[in-house]
């Protein structure tokens, strides 16, 4: 599972953390922008799995696919999937909403799973190298959830992308809540609960205009990932 988790981290970094607004606009406007985005994914992936690139990752009959060829397949499929999403919006009139976002992410995760040397069943499937797994959880909490909330609010509440203050305020709130899950013993429980109450209080006082869906998704997703992170870090809850 080492390679799969490292590829997962590279995908999260390239598709969220390193996909700045300018890159997102470029890839929607021109093929060169899409190539830049996919090349970023390829380079980050190669850097993270560098020690394993010469190894055979997948066997298809007599054919053996090593790490380099696996990353080339990943690059090509990533390009095709993202281009198809852009084409469906521009030429076929499909809405860029929650369904397309989730379908896009599912395809990317599925490809990473298929090109990785994953053994099924594997009792350590939900575990990763400690710091690789923690990094994955952090990106999911900070950036993936921001985009997920955006599409939920866009589809069901008609809201646009959050303003700077709302976006980074919620990232801060989620990361702090997530960090409480690293506290030893059970002291993390009252700290985390107090922080959740504080988030709902901020919404009630309208210090920042947050939808109830935003708060519940942020809290629920962060709590679930926090428990997963704690299990990775300590080997138990």
pLDDT digits (tens, 9 = 90+) for 170-198: 999 999 999 999 999 888 899 999 999 99
- Whole-angstrom distance, CA of residue 53 vs CA of residue 51: 6
Take residue 77 and report the two structure tokens written for it.
């499929």
Q: What is the DSSP string of 212-231?
A: HHHHHHHHHHHHHHHHHHHH
What does the pLDDT look like over 142-175, one tens digit per residue? 999 999 999 999 999 988 888 877 888 899 999 9
What does the pLDDT look like over 80-102, one tens digit per residue? 999 999 999 888 888 889 999 99
119 within 8 A of 18, measured Cβ to Cβ: no
Lookup result for tokens 């021109």: 30
pLDDT at position 149 = 95
122 contacts: CB under 8 Å, gap ≥ 6:
1
CA dist list (Å): 224 to 16, 17, 98, 227: 20, 21, 20, 5
What does the pLDDT look like over 13-36, one tens digit per residue? 999 999 888 888 898 888 999 999
pLDDT at position 125 = 64
* pTM, rounded to two decimals: 0.92
């Amino acid at each position: 599972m080492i390679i799969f988790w490292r590829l997962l981290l590279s995908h999260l970094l390239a598709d969220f953390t390193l996909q700045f607004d300018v890159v997102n606009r470029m890839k929607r406007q021109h093929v060169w922008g899409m190539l830049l985005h996919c090349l970023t994914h390829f380079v980050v992936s190669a850097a993270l799995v560098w020690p394993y690139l010469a190894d055979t990752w997948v066997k298809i009959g007599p054919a053996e696919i090593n790490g380099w060829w696996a990353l080339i397949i990943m690059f090509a499929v990533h390009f095709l999937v993202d281009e198809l999403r852009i084409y469906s919006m521009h030429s076929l009139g499909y809405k860029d909403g929650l369904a397309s976002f989730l379908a896009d992410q599912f395809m990317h995760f599925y490809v990473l799973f298929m090109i990785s040397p994953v053994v099924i069943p594997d009792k350590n499937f939900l575990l990763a190298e400690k710091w690789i797994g923690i990094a994955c959880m952090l990106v999911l909490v900070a950036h993936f959830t921001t985009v997920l909330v955006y599409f939920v609010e866009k589809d069901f509440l008609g809201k646009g992308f959050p303003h700077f203050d709302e976006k980074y305020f919620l990232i801060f709130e989620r990361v702090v809540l997530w960090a409480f899950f690293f506290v030893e013993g059970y002291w993390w429980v009252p700290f985390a609960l107090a922080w959740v109450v504080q988030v709902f209080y901020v919404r009630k006082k309208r210090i920042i205009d947050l939808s109830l869906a935003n708060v519940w998704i942020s809290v629920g997703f962060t709590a679930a990932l926090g428990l997963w992170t704690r299990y990775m870090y300590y080997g138990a809850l």
